[in-house]
């Protein structure tokens, strides 16, 4: 998937909640469109000056964060560390360390070299950098979009929220537009959602807490990432500090570092569903007092040969999760071709168990 530096690019999903581009006041009633647009622009402009600390020309800095993946009942199922030393856009040392995924990237004038696991980060790791370095678009971008301003209660607090969508966008009502929510008394960013290039990212949201100052900007030290309103990832910044000059050894790749394989491609679950040539399903059901549906979501990597390389849970009840993961691992897909060449693919697999009454 994308490098850390590419994660700063602004990615807008072409989605919205209701197909309407009418701007509304904070109480939800129709308002003067021009006045609301100016107000929304003002809110986000101020927020972009106050929140976050990173720009491509930033003075050198160092960040280390710990993270925990959470299951359906909020228990940590896996923990890891993300760390980055930044000197310039071509002088970066970035690493992940967990039992599922560990590697170090060295971005240099000569390009990217990698040590450790040569695979690219999966969606879980991508959401770490997407949340830590969330970027509010500049005015020249916002002026070309429709902005909707509302007040929303989030995590027990009412926030000013600005939703962003392409002008005249008429996409599915099941999706939500990218949204930034600010504290009502100050322009501090407390919530963002809908940002990303895939379904899981677009349906995820981040809550920002424990705000601290760094270089005159507000930075959240505790972040909670939720998928469809269920917390799935917690991130804590342990260290955020200036990086002194003269640390060139930090950015020198070891002799065994190598160029990583081509980035894997993302293909949504509906397209991948049509490519299944060997399907496997869990061989059990659950009898309960009333028929209900139980939904879940998995993050899946399919190799160039069409075989499943890895599966990680995103959402779903613990009692069904492992059975569905085991089933998906047995599936086989038609290889995905780009310019006639097989490529590795990342996709999501949703599942639904229907329980039957006794």
List Cα–Cα distances, 346 to 269, 288, 327, in angstroms: 9, 35, 17
Q: Is 334:306 a contact under the CB 8 Å cutoff?
A: yes
Q: What is the residue extent of each domain of the chain?
A: 5-251, 265-357
Q: What is the pLDDT of residues 48-75, one digit of tens each?
A: 989 988 888 889 999 999 999 998 888 8
Per-residue pLDDT tens digits of the chain, which is 358 residues long: 333 333 322 222 222 222 222 212 223 333 333 445 558 898 999 999 899 888 888 899 999 999 999 988 888 989 999 999 999 999 999 999 999 899 999 999 989 999 999 999 988 888 999 999 988 888 898 989 999 888 999 878 899 999 998 887 644 444 578 999 999 888 999 999 988 778 888 889 999 999 999 999 999 999 999 988 889 999 999 999 999 877 889 999 999 999 999 999 999 888 999 999 998 876 554 444 444 566 788 999 999 999 999 998 888 878 888 888 999 999 999 999 999 999 999 999 888 776 655 5
Helix ranges, 82-166 (H): 123-132, 139-142
Residue range 265-357 in CATH 3.30.2420.10: yes
Rounded Cα gap, residues 311 and 326, in angstroms: 9
Sequence length of the chain is: 358
Rounded Cα gap, residues 190 and 208, in angstroms: 5
pLDDT at 236: 98
CATH architecture designation of domain 5-251: Clam (2.50)
Would you call 341 helix, strand, or coil by DSSP? strand
pLDDT at 210: 95
């Amino acid at each position: 998937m994308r490098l850390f530096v590419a994660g700063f690019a602004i990615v807008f999903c072409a989605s919205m909640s209701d197909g309407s581009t009418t701007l509304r006041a904070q109480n939800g009633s129709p308002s003067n469109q021009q006045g609301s647009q100016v107000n929304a622009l003002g809110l986000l402009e101020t927020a972009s000056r106050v929140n976050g600390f990173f720009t491509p020309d930033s003075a050198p800095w160092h960040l280390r964060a710990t993270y925990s993946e959470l299951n359906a009942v909020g228990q940590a199922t896996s923990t890891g560390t993300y760390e980055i030393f930044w000197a310039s856009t071509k002088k970066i040392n970035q690493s992940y360390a967990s039992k599922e995924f560990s590697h170090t990237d060295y971005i240099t004038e000569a390009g990217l070299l990698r040590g450790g696991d040569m695979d690219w980060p999966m969606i879980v790791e991508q959401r770490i950098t997407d949340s830590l370095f969330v970027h509010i678009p500049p005015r020249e971008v916002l002026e070309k979009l429709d902005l909707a301003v509302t007040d929303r209660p989030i995590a027990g607090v009412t926030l000013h929220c600005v939703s962003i969508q392409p002008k005249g966008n008429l996409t599915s009502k099941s999706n939500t537009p990218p949204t930034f929510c600010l504290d009502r008394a100050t322009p501090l960013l407390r919530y963002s959602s809908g940002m990303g290039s895939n379904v899981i990212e677009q349906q995820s949201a981040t809550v920002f807490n424990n705000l601290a100052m760094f270089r005159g900007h507000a930075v959240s030290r505790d972040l909670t990432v939720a998928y469809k309103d269920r917390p799935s990832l917690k991130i804590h910044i342990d260290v955020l500090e200036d990086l002194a000059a003269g640390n060139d050894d930090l950015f020198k790749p070891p002799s065994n570092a190598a160029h990583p394989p081509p980035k894997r491609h993302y293909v949504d679950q509906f397209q991948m569903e049509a490519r299944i040539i060997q399907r496997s399903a869990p061989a059990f059901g659950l009898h309960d007092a009333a028929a209900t549906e139980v939904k879940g979501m998995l993050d899946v990597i399919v190799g160039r040969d069409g075989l499943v390389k890895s599966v990680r849970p995103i959402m779903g009840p613990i009692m069904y999760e492992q059975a569905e993961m085991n089933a998906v691992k047995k599936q086989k897909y038609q290889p995905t071709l780009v310019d006639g060449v097989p490529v590795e693919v990342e996709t999501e697999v949703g599942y639904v168990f229907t329980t039957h009454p006794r």
